[in-house]
Structure 1
Amino acid sequence: MSDDSSPSPAPASLCLLRTSAIGDVTHVVPLVRTLQAAWPQARLTWIVGKLERRLVGDLPGVEFVTFDKGRGLAGMRETWAALRGRRFDALLQMQVALRSNLLSLGIRARRRIGYDRARSKDLHGLAVNERIPARTGEHVLDAIGSFCEPLGLKQTQVRWDIPIPEEARAWAAERLAGDAPVLLVSPTSSHALRNWRPERYAAVMDHAAARGWRVALVGGPSPGERAMADAVLAACRRAPLDLTGKDTLKRLLAMLARAQLLLTPDSGPMHMANAVGTKVLGLHAASNPHRSGPYSDRRWCVDKYDAASRKFLGRPASEIPWGTKIEYPGVMDLVGVDEAIERFEAFAGAGMRDEG
Structure 2
Amino acid sequence: MLRLSALGDVCNLVPTVRALQRQWPEARITWIVGKAEHSLLAGLSGVELVVYDKASGLAGMRALWRELGDTRFDVLLHMQQALRASVLSLGLKADVRVGYDKARAKDAQHWFTHHQLAPHPRAHVLESFLDFARLLGVEDLSLAWDLPIPAAAREEARALTLGSPYLLMSPCANPRLRNFRNWSAEGYAAVVQHAWEQHGLKTVLTGGGSTQEREMGARIQALCPDEAVIDAIGATSLKGLLALIDAARAVIAPDSGPVHMANALNTPTVGLYATTNPDRAAPYRWREFVVNRYPEAVRTYLHKDPETIPWGQRVRHPDAMSLIHADDVIERLEAVLQHAAAPPPDKDA
TM range (shorter): over 0.9
Superposition deviation, residue 151 in structure 1? 1.7
Does the residue aligned with 1:296 lie in a helix, a strand or coil?
helix
Does the residue aligned with 2:180 lie in a helix, a strand or coil?
helix
Matched, 1:229 2:213: no
Superposition deviation, residue 103 in structure 1? 0.9
Q: Counterpart in 1 of 2:138?
A: 153
Q: Counterpart in 2 of 1:11?
A: none
| Alpha-carbon displacement from aligned partner over 1:118-139 (angstroms, at most 9, x marks no partner) | 0112121221110111111211
Write the distance in 2 (CA, Å) between the matches of 1:355 and 1:331. Answer: 37
Matched, 1:304 2:293: yes
Write the distance in 2 (CA, Å) between the matches of 1:171 and 1:286. Answer: 33
Superposition deviation, residue 27 in structure 1? 1.2
Residues 143 and 165 of structure 1, relative CA distance in 2, 3 Å threshold: same
Q: 1:189 aligns with which of 173, 177, 194?
A: 173
Superposition deviation, residue 155 in structure 1? 5.0
Does the residue aligned with 2:120 lie in a helix, a strand or coil?
coil
**Structure 2: any 5+ residue segments left out of the alignment?**
none
Superposition deviation, residue 350 in structure 1? 4.3
Does the residue aligned with 1:319 lie in a helix, a strand or coil?
coil
| Alpha-carbon displacement from aligned partner over 1:310-350 (angstroms, at most 9, x marks no partner) | 11222332222221111212110111111111212223434
Write the distance in 1 (CA, Å) between the matches of 2:14 and 2:248. Answer: 22
Write the distance in 2 (CA, Å) between the matches of 1:354 and 1:96. Answer: 41
Write the distance in 2 (CA, Å) between the matches of 1:292 and 1:355. Answer: 27
Matched residue count: 340
One-letter code of the match for 1:125? H
One-letter code of the match for 2:90? L
Q: 2:69 aligns with which of 42, 61, 84?
A: 84
Q: 2:122 aligns with which of 137, 151, 162?
A: 137
Does the residue aligned with 1:72 lie in a helix, a strand or coil?
helix
Superposition deviation, residue 94 in structure 1? 0.3
One-letter code of the match for 2:193? D
Does the residue aligned with 2:314 lie in a helix, a strand or coil?
coil
Write the distance in 2 (CA, Å) between the matches of 1:355 and 1:60. Answer: 29
Write the distance in 1 (CA, Å) between the matches of 2:114 and 2:338. Answer: 51
Superposition deviation, residue 354 in structure 1? 5.1
Q: 2:266 aligns with which of 274, 277, 281?
A: 277
One-letter code of the match for 2:300? K
Write the distance in 1 (CA, Å) between the matches of 2:232 and 2:344. Answer: 26
| Alpha-carbon displacement from aligned partner over 1:18-42 (angstroms, at most 9, x marks no partner) | 0000000111111111111111111
Q: Counterpart in 2 of 1:58?
A: 43
One-letter code of the match for 1:326? V
| Alpha-carbon displacement from aligned partner over 1:183-211 (angstroms, at most 9, x marks no partner) | 10001111540011112111111111112
Residues 217 and 354 of structure 1, relative CA distance in 2, 3 Å threshold: farther
Does the residue aligned with 2:63 lie in a helix, a strand or coil?
helix
Residues 345 and 318 of structure 1, relative CA distance in 2, 3 Å threshold: same
Matched, 1:125 2:125: no
Q: 2:304 aligns with which of 312, 315, 318?
A: 315
Write the distance in 1 (CA, Å) between the matches of 2:140 and 2:218. Answer: 42
Residues 340 and 92 of structure 1, relative CA distance in 2, 3 Å threshold: same
Write the distance in 1 (CA, Å) between the matches of 2:244 and 2:324. Answer: 26
Residues 316 and 352 of structure 1, relative CA distance in 2, 3 Å threshold: farther
- Pairs within 5 Å for 1:237-276: 237-238=225-226, 239-276=228-265
Residues 254 and 260 of structure 1, relative CA distance in 2, 3 Å threshold: same
Q: Counterpart in 2 of 1:72?
A: 57
Write the distance in 2 (CA, Å) between the matches of 1:306 and 1:284. Answer: 10
Write the distance in 2 (CA, Å) between the matches of 1:140 and 1:349. Answer: 27
Superposition deviation, residue 57 in structure 1? 2.2
Q: Counterpart in 2 of 1:217?
A: 205
Write the distance in 2 (CA, Å) between the matches of 1:67 and 1:155. Answer: 30
Superposition deviation, residue 236 in structure 1? 2.5
TM-score by length of 2: 0.93
Superposition deviation, residue 179 in structure 1? 5.9
Equivalent residues of 1:65, 1:82 under 8 A apart: no
- Pairs within 5 Å for 1:283-298: 283-298=272-287
Write the distance in 2 (CA, Å) between the matches of 1:300 and 1:277. Answer: 13
Q: 1:202 aligns with which of 179, 189, 193?
A: 189
